[in-house]
């Protein structure tokens, strides 16, 4: 039977609820494989495993439960091994790597922050900061909207100005929140967000991080800022060849 891997923790952890179910329908019982100072959180895998919402949520739920008691190196959804012995062999081979990563993540969680422009608010701001654009918009208004060419010119200049703000606002999001975190990982570009960052935050500093996000929203009202966390530190697991880590957004989309 193929073994499904949720994550890796220390051998004295995790304390999972008895009979906890994981992926599959019916849910496969979750179990722990221990080797030396490490423990792999696993279950049997269904033959027809697919990234369905129910299984994505089940994967995340197991990691959330395990992560409540200590650091866990989360595995990518769909991480499989031939059998339990293959998992134990990987724990043996990569023991130093996993133990170092677990130590580095002790007492920390990931917060994923995305930001986009509030369209109307950023247009007002761009016009307020650009006298030439403001004069052009006013001239068009007095001309009953302006000619096609005038409207096109205004639209092109507004678009260019807004795009310029996207870059500077993305930098501002990182600048405002980075002091509250120990590490930052940039998410993929071209996802519809002007900023997509994951922050590694000490659990005792989480309140300060959330307060910094609230302050960012207050000082930059033209930004739509969204936070997802605390999450297992997907973006800060240094992937080993046999057990890659998952992107933060896999978990975020499953919620």
pLDDT for residue 106: 87
Residues 6+ apart with CB under 8 A from 223: 115, 116, 117, 118, 169, 173, 216, 217
Q: What is the pLDDT of residues 186-229, one digit of tens each?
A: 988 767 789 999 999 999 999 999 999 999 999 998 999 999 98
Cross-strand bridge partners of residue 196: 114
Characterise 107 by phi-psi region: left (phi > 0), alpha (psi -120 to 50), beta (else). Answer: left
Q: Is the pLDDT of residue 254 over 80?
A: no
Residue of 36, 6, 23 lying closest to 234 (CA atoms): 6
Lowest mean pLDDT among 60-69, 90-99, 126-135, 246-255: 246-255
What integer pLDDT is reported at residue 241 of this predicted model?
43
Is the predicted pLDDT of residue 179 greater than 90, yes or no? yes
Summarize pLDDT for 120-159 with one digit per residue, the tens. 887 777 777 777 777 767 676 766 666 667 667 767 777 7
Q: For the range 170-174, what are the long-range contacts, defined as Cβ-Cβ under 8 Å and sequence gap of 24 or more?
A: 170/115, 170/194, 170/195, 172/216, 172/220, 173/113, 173/115, 173/197, 173/216, 173/223, 173/225
Out of 36-40, 78-82, 195-199, 231-235, least confident range: 231-235
pLDDT, position 143: 65
E-state strands within the chain: 3-10, 31-35, 38-44, 73-74, 80-81, 108-117, 183-186, 195-202, 223-231
How far apart (Å, rounded) are the C-alpha atoms in residues 33 and 43? 10
User: CA angle at residue 9 from 8 to 15, to 5 degrees?
Assistant: 120
Residue 16, Ramachandran bin (φ over 0: left; ψ between -120 and 50: alpha; else beta) = beta
Task: Give the pLDDT of residue 55.
Answer: 94
When the pLDDT of each residue in the chain is averaged and rounded to a whole number, the result is 84
Tell me the per-residue pLDDT of 83-108, one tens digit each, with 9 for 90 and over: 999 999 999 999 999 999 898 888 88
User: Are the CB atoms for 3 and 41 separated by under 8 Å?
Assistant: no
**Token output for 220:** 């930059």
User: Could you tell me which residue, 66 or 245, shows the higher pLDDT?
Assistant: 66
In the predicted model, is pLDDT for residue 38 greater than 50?
yes
């Amino acid at each position: 039977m193929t073994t499904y891997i949720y994550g890796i923790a220390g051998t004295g952890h995790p304390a999972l609820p008895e009979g906890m179910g994981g992926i599959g329908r019916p849910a496969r019982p979750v179990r722990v494989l221990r080797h030396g100072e490490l423990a792999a959180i696993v279950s049997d895998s269904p033959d027809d495993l697919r990234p369905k919402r129910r299984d994505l949520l089940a994967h995340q739920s197991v990691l959330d439960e395990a992560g409540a008691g200590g650091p866990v190196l989360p595995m990518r959804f769909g991480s499989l091994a031939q059998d339990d012995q293959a998992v134990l062999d990987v724990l043996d081979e990569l023991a130093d790597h996993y133990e170092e990563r677990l130590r580095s993540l002790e007492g920390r969680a990931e917060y994923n922050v995305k930001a986009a422009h509030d369209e109307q608010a950023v247009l007002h701001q761009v016009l307020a900061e650009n006298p030439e654009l403001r004069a052009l918009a006013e001239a068009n208004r007095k001309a009953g909207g302006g000619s096609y060419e005038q409207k096109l010119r205004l639209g092109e200049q507004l678009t260019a100005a807004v795009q310029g703000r996207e870059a500077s606002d993305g930098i501002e999001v990182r600048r405002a929140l980075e002091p509250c975190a120990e590490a930052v990982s940039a998410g993929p570009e071209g996802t519809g967000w002007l900023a997509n960052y994951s922050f590694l935050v000490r659990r005792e500093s989480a309140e300060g991080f959330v307060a910094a996000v609230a302050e960012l929203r207050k000082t930059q009202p033209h930004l739509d800022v969204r936070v997802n966390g605390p999450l297992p530190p997907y973006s800060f697991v240094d992937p080993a060849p046999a057990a890659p880590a998952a992107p933060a957004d896999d978990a975020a989309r499953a919620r």
